[in-house]
Homo-oligomer: A and B are copies of this chain.
Amino acid sequence: MRCMTSSDKPGTAAEAPAPAPRTGVAALDWASASADPQYRAAVVDLLGALAYGELAAFERLAEDAKLAPTLADKAELAKMASAEFHHFERLRGRLAEIGEEPTGAMEPFVAAYDGFHKQTAPSDWLEGLVKAYVGDSIASDFYREVAARLDTDTRELVLAVLDDTGHAGFAVEKVRAAIDADPRVGGRLALWARRLMGEALSQSQRVVADRDALSTMLVGGVADGFDLAEVGRMFSRITEAHTKRMAALGLAA
């Protein structure tokens, strides 16, 4: 996932929660933490979801590259796609390393990601850029929140694949320039961003409803998982960060 860090994007949910001292699972390494079979199942779900997300993002960006107005833009999107593929490889490698069949771990998340991408196929180059930016930012915020609760080894991997590959700036620059050139573009893209957020939330709910281990980790019950109120606050932080990013982009969220 090509993602943004707080240093290069306006408004990041990950800024909000004060870093708590690592306790419980977050203080353990994988070998110790994975002794709990429910924690292990949750991490396999998480890695599977992330891995398929990267592969789907690869496809989406490669597809969007076809809409690029110039060869240089096309090359830039191909570069992002290739970076997503390498993240996919790392996640697949980790799944294999812990003795899980990567395909089996990814399968449960195919429908949600494919559904999201099918419902939000960009109709032009700018919609594709906004989608890449919005989608990756939300996903990055979400996974960073979760990462803080993971064992040290898994956390390190998750943060590494969320690492900014430097392309948020690319999308922001192009979208801002397009809105400057024709302010009406802003209205259309604001509606588009709203649709993306809605679809992302609806697909996430689907996943949470389907995957027991993952949702148990999120709503508490496993080690340092969230409680339900905390999950609500997390979604508020993510939505708020999204609103700020859209405003900075010149779009009303």
Q: Which residues of A contact B (CB under 8 A)?
A: 52, 55, 58-59, 62-63, 65-66, 70-72, 74-75, 78-79, 81-82, 85-86, 88-89, 92, 103, 106-107, 110
Query: Contact check: which of B81, B82, B92 meets A75 at CB < 8 Å?
Result: B92
A71 touches which of B58, B82, B110 (Cβ 8 Å): B110
Per the bound structure, the CA–CA distance linking A35 and B191 in Å amounts to: 57
Would B85 and A59 count as touching, CB distance under 8 A? no
Known A-B contacts A63-B63, A71-B110; A78 and B103 likewise in contact (beta carbons under 8 Å): no
> Would you list 28 pairs from A and B whose C-beta atoms are within 8 A, ordered by A residue?
A52-B71, A55-B71, A55-B74, A55-B78, A58-B62, A58-B65, A58-B78, A58-B82, A59-B66, A59-B74, A62-B62, A62-B63, A62-B65, A62-B81, A63-B63, A71-B103, A71-B106, A71-B107, A71-B110, A75-B88, A75-B92, A79-B85, A79-B89, A81-B81, A81-B82, A81-B85, A82-B82, A82-B86
Q: How far is the CB of A74 from chain B (nearest CB, A)?
A: 7
**Contacting pair A55 B75 (CB below 8 A):** yes
Q: Which of A55, A59, A89 has the most CB of B within 10 A?
A: A59
Q: Say which residue of B59, B70, B85 sits within 8 Å of A103 (CB atoms).
A: B70
**Do A65 and B74 form a contact, CB below 8 Å, given A85-B82, A86-B82?**
no
Q: Which of A63, A72, A75, A107 has the most CB of B within 10 A?
A: A75
Chain B's closest residue to A75 (CB) is: B55
Q: List the B side residues contacting A65 at CB < 8 Å.
A: 58-59, 62
Contact of A72 among B66, B70, B88, B103 (CB under 8 A): B103
- Which residues from chain B contact A89 at a C-beta distance below 8 Å? 79
Kindly state the separation between the CA atoms of A103 and B110 in the bound complex, as whole angstroms. Answer: 37
> If A71-B107, A103-B72 touch, does A78 touch B66 (CB 8 Å cutoff)?
no
Most B CB atoms within 10 A — which of A79, A85, A92, A103? A85
How far in angstroms is the closest Cβ of chain B from A2?
A: 14
